[in-house]
Amino acid sequence: MIRLPLVLLFSAALFSIGVYGVLARRNAVMVLMAIELMLNAVNVNLVGFSQLWRDLAGQVFALFVIAVAAAEVGIGLAIVLLIYRNRETIDLSEVSLLKW
């Protein structure tokens, strides 16, 4: 039996790694992968608390998060492809048309 605080600390570490990735990386695909990392950390938390409270709502919610993440990746990667096709780059610092 894993103690819940260990699980929470693990997911906190995973989430922070994801935050670093989103902020520091400029490759759009890498940023999307870092977002996946953060969503996974959230899922670990949900499943951990679902076990603590013996309530399956946490697991159901984690399932929904996975489904939404799948949709998000599909759209996100399509947008990345579109950006690459139009601008020949996926460097996020060069996608600055809407930046003031």
Residues 21-50 that bind other proteins (CB under 8 A): 21, 23-27, 29-30, 32-34, 36-37, 40, 43-44, 47-48, 50
Helices (H), ranges, the chain: 4-24, 28-53, 57-87
The CB density around residue 74, as the number of other CB atoms within 10 Å, is: 10
CA-to-CA distance for 47 and 43, rounded, in angstroms? 6
Residue 19 makes contact with other proteins by CB under 8 A: yes
Cβ proximity to other proteins: between 5 and 98 the closer is 5
| 52, amino acid identity | L
Report the residue from 54, 98, 99, 100 that binds other proteins according to the rule CB under 8 A: 54
Report the residue from 85, 95, 98, 100 that binds other proteins according to the rule CB under 8 A: 85
